[in-house]
Every structure is written in structure tokens, then in C-alpha cells.
Copies of this chain bind each other. A is one copy, B any other.
Amino acid sequence: VQPRIVEIRQNVLRKNDELARALRARFLTDRVLVVNLVSSPGSGKTAWLERSLGACRTRGWHTAVLVGDVATDNDARRLAATGVPVRQIGTGGLCHLDAQMIVDHLRDWPPRPLDLLFIENVGNLVCPASYDLGESLRAVLLSTTEGEDKPLKYPALFHSADVALLTKLDLAAACEFDHAAARQNLQAARPGIRVVETSARTGQGLDDWLDLLDASRQQVLAAGPAPPR
């Protein structure tokens, strides 16, 4: 059975890559920065997004959020409370989002104008690594409570990320979090990765994160085709 499964899986990933390429081209044409947030369950993706949405509004950016979850729409409801357009993707038990789900949920949504689309992936450090969603920026969250070794133990996901957000810095001391080891392991998994230290509770790192998003937005605006006149 094994070689057949490998072959099937390769076909699935090949098809996903094709769809993701088309999505990426479309996002560039639409001049939208798309950010895919990946992490373990409970690393604080939703809490950090709540903070980020408010900060984006302050900068005058129009945002929307796609939220993937195996079950419940808890996170979608939390995020919708910010007033930003939010759409839930129920994966029906599946352990990751794929490009087809993104295509399906963007048919007549979100409302324009749109500068920035966040995608909150399923909490999982393994499976989402292989599924390109057409994003321009993949951000992996690593909380101070889950241990500095995670980039070494789940290298594929960390290697696939463009930026790492260290989260729950307010708990770092209580967890005896080793900052140097975490940064060393992140660099080992993904040499040169940018790292932002954050806390959704205190707001630490929010300005740095927004500046980083702004720089990525400028790249998208520079790379995209001229807007229609």
C-alpha cells in the first residue's frame, strides 16, 4: 500500500501547488497581501490576530480573515467581534487547510476594498507545512510555553515559514523560557528567518509586526501589475 499512498499524496500536493500558484497570481493582481498563520494548537494565533486586526485598522488598512478549524466556530466568532469580515472554513476533520478550500471560500467574498487577508490555519505543526495556500507571507507562531525545541522537532513547518512570532512572552519567565536556544533552533530550521517577540496580553511586538506586514505589503504593491484605470 505504501508506494501507492506516496503516489496519491504527490498528486494531491501537485494539484494543490497549481491551485496555489493561481491564487498567488490573483492576490498580486488584486494587490492583496495574504498571510498564512501556522502553529501548534494553543500557541495564540487567534489572540494575536485580534490584536493585529485592531492595529491594522489604526493604520487604515482594510483586512479580512479566513479561519480554519477542525470543529467549532469559536475562533471565527472571537475574530468577528472585532468588526472585520471573517469567514469560517470547517475542515470536516481534516488536519490542514488546502488551496481548494481557499478558492471555494473566496468566490464572492470578502467585500472590497481589501489590503490584507489573514488565513488562520488549523493548529498543527506537521500537516499544514506541505500545503501552499497562495500566501505571500507564512508566519509560524511559537509560544514560550511549548518549549524551545519545537523548530528542531517539526522542521518542515518551520523551514517553510518566512517569519517566526515568539508568542506569550509575558509567560516567558514563569516557563523559564530560553530565548537564545529558541532563536538558535529557529535559525537552524530556517536560516535567516525573521523573529518577532510578542505578547497578545501586553501588546509587545505589535509595532514590529505591523512594520513587517507593511514592508511585505509594499513588495506586493511593487510586484503586482499596474491597477486598472
Contacts and interface: CB of A to CB of B under 8 A. Distances in A.
- Say which size band chain A's interface belongs to: 35 or more
A8 interface: yes
B126 A95 contact: yes
Contacts of A145: 42, 143, 145-146, 168, 171, 175
Nearest to A15: B1
A95 B124 contact: yes
- Oligomeric state, in copies: 2
A12 B1 contact: yes
A174 to B, nearest CB: 5
Contact of A153 (B11, B69, B95, B125): B69
A120 to B, nearest CB: 12
Nearest to A201: B176
Interface string A33-46: 00000001111000
